[in-house]
Amino acid sequence: MTTSVTRAGAFHPASALDYLPLAQLRELQLARLQAIVTRAYGRVTLFRDRLDQRGLRPEQLTNLTHCAELPFTEKADLRDTYPFGLFASPLSEVVRLHSSSGTTGKPIVVAYTQADVDVWSSVMVRSFAACGISHEDVIQNAYGYGLFTGGLGAHYGAEALGAAVIPISGGNTDRQIMVLRDFGVTAICCTPSYFVHLIERAREMGIDLRTLPLRVGVFGAEPWTDAMRARIHADSNIRAHDIYGLSEIIGPGVGIECGELSGLHIFEDHFYPEIVDPVSGRPLPDGEEGELVLTTLSKQAMPMIRYRTHDMTALLPEPCACGRTLRRIRRITRRSDDMIILRGVNVYPGQVESALLAVEGTLPHYQIVLTRKKGLDQMEVQVEVTAEVFGDTVGALETLHERLSAAIETVLGLHVEVRLVEPHTIERSIGKAKRVIDRRQEGD
């Protein structure tokens, strides 16, 4: 039997939950919210103390809007209670632990019961189906296997879907390309920056990805833009979907773009989204950009109540053309904690990508270097340019430099240094790309 694929995705019975009538979905969310808050209150000291301090009791939650009265959970809470302080299940019921170190400080640990792993697999199945991937596909899973949630999260989902999964993990790029070609791979999971690296290396090996059966990419774990998607499409002819998730909530599979490629559906029957003002913490209306706050509605081992993701987005008010009732968030291109103040202007590194990729002659490899001189933050954008441009006349390079500087200035609203560099100057990553090099502490 051949699975039919539409813009809504490939058919899979698990996807029925994506289309629940809204009244039923809200009822389910409320019942689950009540149950999870009761569980956390009964089993997690930090959460019980916070509720008690506010004079709140789980049974007072009689409406979804009451969720906004619950206290937030922050990453610091996971660090402060490291390793097992927020667990709501005894270790005897835990079947998996993952850990993430982030960019700073102590790591965090997250735990799953078997029921949690099953939920995780089910949201990954629904994610793959939304991308038009079915049991007939051959999925190359190049997310890192290990403590990072990407590898195993995608793996269990792909197996539950019935697809043939290749657990290649990240790295060893030449072998990735050999497998991609020889195994008839039709779908690939990795970070978008690593896929760009695969395209580049394949070309050097004389392989044009456009000629292979590969047709879908499931890319996430880092911010990327529609401009990057357009570049990927031009160079590989695949449809690239954005997948979102974070360790604290479950891993990959919190949200996914359907075939409409216009925002990410949140699997709301398991994750309750809110958007809040990052400064005041007050809820914002649909359509307004703010910080995404997520509550896990079914997670047993480690429920997260109103977890502040620091990821900036908006809940899209319009229903999606695919027919899913699950609400969508706008793609995440920045975090509330990565703002740089340059000469009084607020700048986010993520703003730079669209600007520079819109200019022909650039390669999708760039880095932002932050320094501090006499107490003032400085920013330099380093961009690789094609070998043709680099080998061209000085005049051609200067013209490109001017165009890039102007494009970035338009987006940021101020002038920053731009440096054109040769292909391969910027380090390639096999996982999350390091776009910002922060040397501000070394400055004077």
Smallest gap from Cβ 431 to ligand DLL, in A, equals 9
x-or-dash string of contact with ligand DLL, 135-154, rule CB under 6 A: --------x-----xx----
Q: Which residue lies nearest ligand DLL, judged by its C-beta?
A: 220
Compare residues 235 and 311 and give the one whose CB is closer to ligand DLL: 311
**Which listed residue (332, 383, 385, 430) binds ligand DLL by CB under 6 A?**
332
- Give the range of 27-35, 87-95, 166-174, 237-245 binding ligand DLL by CB under 6 A: 237-245
x-or-dash string of contact with ligand DLL, 65-104, rule CB under 6 A: -----------------------------------x----
- Give the range of 27-35, 117-125, 236-244, 377-385 binding ligand DLL by CB under 6 A: 236-244
For residue 268, give every residue at least 6 positions away whose Cβ sits within 8 Å of its Cβ, in sequence order, or none.
25, 29, 326, 327
> Is residue 268 classed as helix, strand or coil in its secondary structure?
coil
**Which listed residue (225, 309, 367, 371) binds ligand DLL by CB under 6 A?**
309
Could you identify the residue written with the tokens 């990072």?
Answer: 148
Residues 88-104 as b or e (16 or more Cβ within 10 Å = b): bbeeebbebbbebeeee
**Residue 315 makes contact with ligand DLL by CB under 6 A:** no
**Residue 298 makes contact with ligand DLL by CB under 6 A:** no
**Which listed residue (160, 188, 198, 243) binds ligand DLL by CB under 6 A?**
243
- Among 381, 375, 390, 396, which Cα is nearest to 422's? 390
CA atoms within 13 A on the CB side of 417: 12
Compare residues 122 and 247 and give the one whose CB is closer to ligand DLL: 247
**Which listed residue (58, 157, 217, 223) binds ligand DLL by CB under 6 A?**
223
User: What token pair was written down for 53?
Assistant: 């301090």
- Give the range of 1-9, 113-121, 203-211, 247-255 binding ligand DLL by CB under 6 A: 247-255
**Residue 246 makes contact with ligand DLL by CB under 6 A:** yes
Q: How many residues bind ligand DLL (CB under 6 A)?
A: 20
- E-assigned strands of 71-141? 94-100, 108-113, 138-141
CA distance 271 to 251: 12
Structure-derived torsion over alpha carbons of residues 273, 277, 280, 283, reported in degrees to the nearest 10: -50
CA distance 376 to 443: 9
